[in-house]
Each structure stands twice: as C-alpha cells, then as structure tokens.
Amino acid sequence: MANKAAPIAKPFQVPKIALYVIGFIPAVWLFYQGVNDRLGADPMRYLEQALGLWALRFLIATLMVTPLRQLFNVNLLRYRRALGLLTFYYAVLHLTTYLVLDQGLDWAAIGGDIVKRPYITIGMATFVILIPLAVTSNNASIRRLGGQAWARLHKLVYVAAIGAALHFLLVVKSWPMEPIVYAAIVAVLLGYRLARALNRRAVPKRQAA
C-alpha cells in the first residue's frame, strides 16, 4: 500500500517509441547481414528461421506482462501493445521471407504446403489469428468494440501462442531442445492463466459454502 502514497512526481519511463526502435534492431541487423552474405551457407533459411523465432520471442514477452504485474508487481502494461505489434511485424517478415525468398512466390507450391503440411497449416492459421489482434491494437478500436468485447477478442493471443509453439515443434526433425524450451515457456504462461481462472471460479463457491 506504500505505493499509493508514493510521491506525485512521475518516475522516468522509457518512451514506447524506444521499444519499437530497439525491437526492430534484430530485423535490420539480419537483413544487413543477409544482403552482405554473412548469414552462413544457407542465408535464406537462417533469415526465415531467425525472424520466426523473434516473432515467438515477442509473443512470449507480450504474455509475460500480466504475470509480471500480478506476481512481481512489475508493471509493463503500457508496453504490451508495442510488444504485441512487434510480434505481428516479425510474423509478417517471417511469412514474407517464406513466400518471396523461400518459395519465390510459387503459389502452387505455397498452396500445396498450406494444405498438406501441418506445420505450415498451423503457421498460416496462427498468422491469420494475429491479423485482427494487430488491426484492433489501438485506442479507437477499444472504444468502438467496448472494453469487454475487445478483451475477449484479444484472448485469441493464447491460441496464437499455442499455434506458434506447435509450428516450431513440428518443423524440426526429431525433438531437439530449443523448440521444446519455447513450448514449455508458452505452456507455463498459459497454464498460469488457466490456474488463476480455475482458482477464481473455485473461490466464491467456497465462500458460499
């Protein structure tokens, strides 16, 4: 409660724009290295995978905002929109790399991939889910939809997180460590929310008894 009595002067806050600037450093750096042939023997594959991985990292960062606030009293809520949008921008870059550099816009091959390859089907569905979330990530949309409906819509991010983790798990051969670790982090972040939701439902019952 000491927090409420804290001095009126606002503590220094990192401006949101800084997050976008920092957030795009990996993309710029990857493209710079790629154009200068510094991404190893298979630069397209490296770029494609790195961009996808950054999308997943930003998605995880987005999902960490709430538990950090509830468990550790660290409030990063004002940055959540930027983190979510960075997730979307990296997903766009990842998908563009796949469509243009990997498949050379061969729509027959791409269509075949989407229909026949579960990891690509899932990846594409995950991207589609992110679109309405990105489009409504602004104050005007919250006002238009109403807070509750907006919040319900944005629960889709949980589905996107499962999709992204599965997409990574299914693309690799065998069961290497890295995608398992990312999937475990997603599972913990979603499990935390599920446990809290179940708890909240259980508590009133106990009080009524």
Partner 1 sequence: MLIRRPSDILPSEITSRDIYLNRRQWMTGAAGLAFAGLAGSADAAPLSTVKSPFSTDEKPTSREDVTHYNNYYEFGVDKSAPAANAHTLKTKPWTVKIDGLVDKPADYALEDLIKPATLEERIYRMRCVEGWSMVIPWVGFPLADLIKRVEPKSGAKYVAFETVYRPAEMVGQRGILPVLDWPYVEGLRMDEATHPLALLAVGLYGETLENQNGAPIRLVVPWKYGFKGIKSITRLSFVEKEPPTSWNRQASNEYGFYANVNPAVDHPRWSQATERRIGEGGLFAKRRPTLLFNGYADQVASLYSGMDLRKFY
- The residues that touch partner 1, with contacts defined as CB under 8 A, are 34-35, 37, 39-45, 47, 101, 103-104, 106, 109, 112-113, 116-119, 170-178, 180
Whichever of 85 and 93 has its CB closer to partner 1, that residue is 93
Whichever of 106 and 128 has its CB closer to partner 1, that residue is 106
Whichever of 109 and 151 has its CB closer to partner 1, that residue is 109
From residue 147, how far is each of 3, 132, 137 by CA, in Å?
26, 15, 12
At its nearest, how many Å lie between partner 1 and the CB of residue 186?
18
Whichever of 79 and 90 has its CB closer to partner 1, that residue is 90
Whichever of 15 and 42 has its CB closer to partner 1, that residue is 42
Whichever of 102 and 134 has its CB closer to partner 1, that residue is 102
At its nearest, how many Å lie between partner 1 and the CB of residue 182?
14
At its nearest, how many Å lie between partner 1 and the CB of residue 90?
18
- Reduced 3-state DSSP string for the chain: CHHHHCCCCCCCCCCHHHHHHHHCHHHHHHHHHHHCCCCCCCHHHHHHHHHHHHHHHHHHHHHHHHHHHHHHCCCCHHHHHHHHHHHHHHHHHHHHHHHHHHCCCCHHHHHHHHHHCHHHHHHHHHHHHHHHHHHCCCHHHHHHHCHHHHHHHHCHHHHHHHHHHHHHHHHCCCCCHHHHHHHHHHHHHHHHHHHHHHHHHHHHHHHHC
Rounded CA gap, 125 and 65, in Å? 24
At its nearest, how many Å lie between partner 1 and the CB of residue 87?
24
